[in-house]
């Protein structure tokens, strides 16, 4: 019997197609409330992505859901305790995207320090004949702070080693076996570095962790890079600090209310902004899709699930 799967997220077209081939695919955005009501007892799987917000009250509408599969490593929008209580397995797609997110973090760091997009705009505007582009910030040998030294943080640190950067971090706990300096508070970390990269979990526990105090500590020569979740940074305060030159610049792949990015942020010259695309390469999105499908398939065939989130 084909399993009824409800998709609550926009997924890549190829994955969408694979799900339609394998499951009885129901798209949340295409069914009315009453249709959903009558379908609800038949739904056994929910497909979501890293940006999805799925509260326990939503899951409770589907008494026979067994698995909620997330396309992405982050699952901060999913109420995992409620899922566990309701006997729903939650899966995600870690590891396969680590390299891409680390690559993108380094790309953002280089872009904001060396002002690559700004210089590109300068050239296209034919401003070069009137004089060269102003000097930028050297990266090699600079001090890098990483907020959250998980798999992605460590991979960024390894890349930064190749730039001779002096690396320190903060994390829920000090990591053994890494040669980087541990700070047990964000302010001390921000004070000690030129570039601060945020790679921590999203969700309530890290909401607005990067606030005025951390930005003050980073200071007028410091740069902020965020590839984690927009919620980790107090975006309104960040905008004020950028406007006033109280920090030097920011390079952001994630925002508080995606896909809407405040005009005040877009108007700033000292930012580099990308549309939540750190893991969006052909190769990695294919690998994420395969892992996403493998999680579902393993569950429904009774095999061990490759990537189940901790409960
Ligand atoms: C994706 C992400 O953009 O993995 C995550 O947590 O945020 C990204 O890789 C997202 O999940 C796809 O929608």
The pLDDT tens digits of the residues spanning 80-123 come to: 999 999 999 999 999 999 999 999 999 999 999 999 999 999 99
Q: Is the CB of 153 under 6 A from ligand 1?
A: no
Compute the average pLDDT of residues 192-214: 97
Mutate to test the pocket of ligand 1, among 71, 91, 283 (most ligand atoms within 8 A of CB): 71
User: Which residue in 159, 207, 276, 308 is the catalytic one?
Assistant: 276
Is the pLDDT at 190 greater than 90, yes or no?
A: yes
* Between residues 19 and 310, the one the model is more confident about: 19
- Closest ligand 1 atom to the C-alpha of 277? 3
The angle that helices 98-114 and 151-161 make with each other, rounded to 10 degrees, is: 50
81 and 102 fall within a common domain: no
Let me know if 276 is a catalytic residue. yes
Q: Is the CB of 202 under 6 A from ligand 1?
A: no
104 and 248 fall within a common domain: yes
CB 225 within 8 A of CB 105: yes
Burial 285-300 (b: 16+ CB within 10 A, else e): bebbbebbbbbbebbb
Q: Is the CB of 71 under 6 A from ligand 1?
A: yes
Let me know if 30 is a catalytic residue. no
- Closest ligand 1 atom to the C-alpha of 72? 4
Let me know if 44 is a catalytic residue. no
**pLDDT category of residue 278 using cuts at 50, 70 and 90:** very high
pLDDT at 303: 98
87 and 114 fall within a common domain: no
Q: Of 275, 263, 210, give the one whose Cα is nearest residue 51.
A: 275
Give residue 185's domain range. Answer: 98-273
For residue 166, the tally of other CB atoms under 10 A from its CB is 16
Q: Rounded to an integer, what distance in angstroms lies between the CA atom of residue 206 and that of residue 208?
A: 6
**pTM score > 0.75 for this model?**
yes
103 and 92 fall within a common domain: no
pLDDT at 256: 98
Is the pLDDT at 128 greater than 80, yes or no?
A: yes
Is the pLDDT at 1 greater than 80, yes or no?
A: no
Kindly report which listed range (7-11, 109-113, 173-177) carries the lowest average pLDDT score.
Answer: 173-177
Residue 268 inside a domain? The answer is yes
**pLDDT category of residue 311 using cuts at 50, 70 and 90:** confident
Residue 25 inside a domain? The answer is yes
Q: Is the CB of 73 under 6 A from ligand 1?
A: yes
138-160 pLDDT, tens per residue? 999 999 999 999 999 999 999 99
Distance 75 CA to ligand 1 centre (A): 9
Q: Rounded to an integer, what distance in angstroms lies between the CA atom of residue 198 and that of residue 255?
A: 12
Mean pLDDT score of the chain: 97
Q: Rounded to an integer, what distance in angstroms lies between the CA atom of residue 188 and that of residue 182?
A: 10
Is the pLDDT at 35 greater than 90, yes or no?
A: yes
For residue 38, the tally of other CB atoms under 10 A from its CB is 10
CA distances from 61 to 134, 199, 262, 276 (A): 58, 33, 34, 30
Distance 244 CA to ligand 1 centre (A): 32
Q: Of 228, 226, 290, give the one whose Cα is nearest residue 50.
A: 228
Q: Is the CB of 112 under 6 A from ligand 1?
A: no
pLDDT at 182: 98
84 and 178 fall within a common domain: no
Residue 218 inside a domain? The answer is yes
């Amino acid at each position: 019997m084909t399993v009824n799967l409800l998709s609550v997220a926009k997924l890549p077209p190829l994955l969408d197609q694979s799900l339609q081939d394998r499951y009885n695919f129901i798209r949340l955005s295409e069914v009315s409330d009453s249709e959903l009501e009558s379908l609800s007892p038949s739904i056994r799987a929910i497909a979501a992505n890293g940006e999805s917000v799925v509260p326990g009250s939503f899951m409770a509408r589907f008494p026979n859901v067994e698995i909620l599969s997330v396309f992405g490593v982050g699952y901060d929008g999913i109420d995992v305790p409620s899922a566990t209580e309701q006997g729903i397995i939650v899966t995600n797609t870690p590891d396969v995207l680590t390299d891409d997110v680390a690559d993108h973090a380094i790309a953002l760091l280089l872009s904001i320090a060396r002002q690559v997009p700004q210089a590109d705009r300068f050239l296209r505007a034919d401003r070069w004949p009137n004089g060269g582009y102003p000097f930028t910030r050297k990266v090699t040998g600079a001090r890098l702070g990483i907020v959250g030294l998980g798999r992605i943080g460590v991979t960024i640190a390894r890349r930064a080693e190749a730039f001779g950067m002096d690396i320190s971090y903060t994390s829920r706990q000090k990591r053994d076996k890494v040669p980087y300096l541990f700070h047990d508070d964000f302010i001390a970390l921000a004070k000690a570095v030129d570039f601060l990269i945020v790679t921590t979990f999203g969700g309530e526990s890290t909401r607005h962790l990067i606030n005025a105090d951390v930005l003050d500590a980073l200071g007028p020569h410091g740069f902020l890079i965020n590839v984690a979740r927009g919620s980790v940074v107090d975006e309104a305060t960040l905008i004020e600090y950028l406007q006033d030159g109280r920090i030097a610049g920011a390079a952001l792949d994630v925002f508080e209310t995606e896909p809407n990015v405040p005009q005040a942020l877009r108007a700033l010259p000292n930012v580099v902004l990308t549309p939540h695309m750190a893991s969006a390469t052909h190769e990695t999105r294919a690998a994420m899709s395969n892992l996403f499908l493998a999680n579902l398939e393993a569950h429904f065939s009774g095999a061990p699930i490759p990537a189940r989130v901790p409960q």
